[in-house]
Amino acid sequence: MESQNLTGVSEFLLLGLSDDPSLQRLLFELFLSLYLVTLFGNLLIILVISSDPHFHIPMYFLLSSLSLADISISTTTIPKMLVNLQTHSKSITYRGCLTQLTFFSLLAFLGSLLLTVMAYDWLVAICNPLHYLAIMNPCTCGMLILASFFISFFTSLLHYLMMLQLSFCANAKILHLFCDPPQLVNLACSDTSISNLLIYFIFGGVPLLGILYSYARNISSILRVSSSDGKYKAFSICGSHLSVVCLFFGTGLGMYFSSTVLSSPRKSAVASVMYTVVTPTLNPFIYSLRNKDIRNALWRIFCRII
């Protein structure tokens, strides 16, 4: 398949965020710390949900799936960043770059689809509370997650095949710490309109439209509730998910639009780091701090340990 690389580029150079050795050391320590926090926080969420029968309901099953996706997307990008920062190596092979890009696309799209499924879960809970258990049964929940995975898989495979058809300029330098899809597309010498359409519309637009539709229905149903306590409870139920949605899509859209709007590739790289490094770190804190049941379960685990 490498024969499709018309320019014969064998590797890319990941120039990173800075050439200053002292700053590279600081970035290494920062990214390592955030990666460990991401692993520990999301694994703890998965452990709590899997070990406590009270959490064996669709909402928490979807949350544990999102935590697993956060771990995976961080593992796709951060270890290579750490190796390059530690060894001061900047190269990544052509095949390695496309492989990293494919897994990144798969997991990022999977995360957005899982958030869409979670929005649908809230839609059923708020708009059809009496039929919630019948609609969101374990079989349906599992099928939604499997469907999200296969859609993400085939979409990322399509993206990979499209990237194989692009020819790259001889100066294959990426001003980033990993193979960021928008910046890699910008390096191509051939037409990238279809690739850009796939990145901006399918990866971001379709899931976001589904989430906006779900929340429009939710808000419409909540406003019809006569009790102020009922409205407050309904809005608080969606609070954690809405926070994660804003963080996920806010940083994600910022990453992709910054690659075309910002004149400085370095600023675009910083926006991308927010999406790939910071967001997976914050998600478990958002859910644990805003969810009383998870806080109590974490406290019980902590008390048993000590």
CATH number of domain containing 23: 1.20.1070.10
**For residues 58-63, average pLDDT:** 84
So what's the pLDDT on residue 36? 93
Structure tokens at 68: 């697993």
So what's the pLDDT on residue 219? 78
Q: CA separation (Å) from 254 to 54, 185, 219, 261?
A: 37, 17, 26, 10
**pLDDT more than 90, % of the chain:** 6
Q: What is the pLDDT of residues 235-266, one digit of tens each?
A: 666 666 677 777 777 766 666 665 555 555 56
pLDDT at residue 291 is higher than 50: yes
Distance CA 142, CA 147 (A): 9
pLDDT band at 5 (very low <50, low <70, confident <90, very high): very low
Distance CA 228, CA 85 (A): 53
pTM of the model: 0.83
Helix (H, G, I), strand (E, B) or coil at 49: helix
Report the length, in residues, of the chain. Answer: 306
Domain tally, the chain: 1
So what's the pLDDT on residue 269? 67
pLDDT band at 128 (very low <50, low <70, confident <90, very high): confident
So what's the pLDDT on residue 146? 92
3-state helix, strand, coil in the chain (%, to 5): 80, 5, 15
So what's the pLDDT on residue 59? 81
pLDDT at residue 3 is higher than 50: no
So what's the pLDDT on residue 289? 67
> Which secondary structure element, helix H or strand E, spans residue 50, and what is its range?
helix 21-51
Q: What is the pLDDT of residues 191-230, one digit of tens each?
A: 666 666 666 666 667 777 888 888 788 777 777 766 676 6
So what's the pLDDT on residue 306? 66
The better pLDDT of the pair 88, 104 is held by 104
**For residues 40-62, average pLDDT:** 85
Task: State which residues form the domain around 135.
Answer: 2-305
**For residues 278-287, average pLDDT:** 80
DSSP class of residue 188?
B
**pLDDT more than 70, % of the chain:** 76
Instruction: Give the distance, in angstroms, between the CA of residue 90 and the centroid of all CA atoms in the same chain.
Output: 25
Average pLDDT of the chain, as a whole number: 78
Q: What is the pLDDT of residues 76-85, one digit of tens each?
A: 888 888 888 8
Q: What is the pLDDT of residues 146-196, one digit of tens each?
A: 999 998 898 888 888 888 877 776 667 777 778 877 777 777 776 666 666
Structure tokens at 186: 């910008």
DSSP class of residue 9?
-
Is residue 214 within 8 Å of residue 222, measured between CB atoms? no
